[in-house]
Chain A
């Protein structure tokens, strides 16, 4: 009944096509969710970003003077964009996938032939879509306050994509383990936000005392922010090649971990 027409097409090709349709369905569903609740997904980051630019960029920034050879507002603009990409990628996947577990509609995907790696990829893409949308909004806000120099466009795109993927995966894994709504805000509040603030969004770690500068090198977000900032300004606290290696390493490891968790059925199958 099904597959009768598909017999003419090579099986692998029709499988790939089915996988593509399944993937697109998840991504479009995520996109629909982002748009449906835009008041929760797009507006708050724009408001927060505007406040940051007004307070840190304009009011306080004028007194700080230069950092890394640029005006303070120019220096923090890439950091603020990156910060919003990180929180929104993470937040999108953690709340959407936890919601799917909590409301049980994750079962719609689990009973279907969608492979696990594709489900993870679909949710991560949803997180990337939200991250990039918000990143674009914050960039637009930034342009009201400052001029953004583009040093290396490819590195900008690569850094923002990789970072968005890494934190979408982080959100996915958080959602797998979460047992209630408190668990999905614990990690962002106590780990993610501190690491982001201490990851060189607002300052160059060269300003820190030696021990704190060394300690900062253990913070993965430092590499993401600096890789991204390098794409705009051409300045970085860390080696740019190493920064990208870190991002790729995290993305690959977390993706493998997420797929493995799905295979084991952790949090989704009794």
Chain B
């Protein structure tokens, strides 16, 4: 049985924007799944439909075999959602927010309190439990939404850019935390613009672009499609011009930095042998961008040619503007 199964899903917003143009997606139970795509690709729309915050135009969705059209409440009980934008009452405390959410799922108060304590502690928010949540930092707000999503112990956890605007250290602890949750059997679907994150965490991946799925496979299979990788070499001595490396595309970025594109049928040893022969000493080497990112940019650039604007994992990887969205006063 699939944790999530989507068939021919379409969505046209009232303003005429066709956000989804017939999507098929299957996520296996227990999987750690990445849903990737440039800004405006349709990720949040897809998640909105699955969590019944957005009405679909056509198609079918089922969650652990519960069809959303016929068995909505059962499907809803299986899902925990961490939305892209802050959506808790900023005048309430974290503890109230998490305990109340459990209440909406029919969990008795005493159990709800225990769980709230457990998850607020795990997400390092316990000492903030009595603070007005408006006063939390952006990263804390995101963690609060994770605690809230887990309080009814869902079998499927969906996170829409959970690490946007979160610092590196917290991001890494969040990764460990999500790995742990996944190891306990919870299926996780994640969207992110940090492709390194997806490559590290996820076993399967789907790439969505302009409302269509363009890739849907195992992470390793998708990565294997990458025909070339670009490496950045730092040189000990300045060089005036790029050393000759027949068969490789070489660019001299500055007099100490060399970029080499390596086809996957070629070996790296060959490069070093040739460079050594020319007296060029390499101090260090790294991937120019992470592998998934490289593939992603190619895929999106290929079928997006011109259309859809600067999709860019690059821009996105620089940090999508997540975090706190201030609400006007009176929001209570």
Contact = CB atoms under 8 A, between A and B. Distances in A.
Contacts of A105: 87-89
Contacts of B53: 107, 110-111, 269-270
Interface stretch (A19-27, A60-68, A167-175): A19-27
Interface stretch (A30-38, A156-164, A219-227, A245-253): A30-38
B77 A99 contact: no
Interface string A31-57: 011001100000000000000000000
A102 to B, nearest CB: 6
Nearest to B328: A102
B221 interface: no
A37 B55 CA distance: 35
* Residue from B88, B89, B106, B155 whose CB has the most chain A CB atoms within 10 Å: B106
B84 to A, nearest CB: 11
* Residue from A24, A29, A33 whose CB has the most chain B CB atoms within 10 Å: A29
A189 interface: no
A114 interface: yes
Interface string A193-233: 00000000000000000000000000000000000000000
A109 B331 contact: no
Interface residues of B, number: 44
Contacts of B104: 22, 25-26, 108-109, 112-114
A100 interface: yes
Main SS at interface, chain B: loop
Chain A contact patch, size range: 35 or more
A57 B87 CA distance: 47
Contacts of B97: 108
* Residue from A1, A19, A36 whose CB has the most chain B CB atoms within 10 Å: A1
A70 interface: no
24 contacts: A1-B185, A2-B153, A19-B106, A21-B103, A21-B107, A21-B109, A25-B103, A28-B103, A29-B96, A96-B332, A99-B330, A102-B327, A103-B90, A104-B85, A104-B86, A105-B87, A105-B88, A108-B148, A110-B53, A111-B53, A111-B79, A113-B105, A115-B73, A181-B330
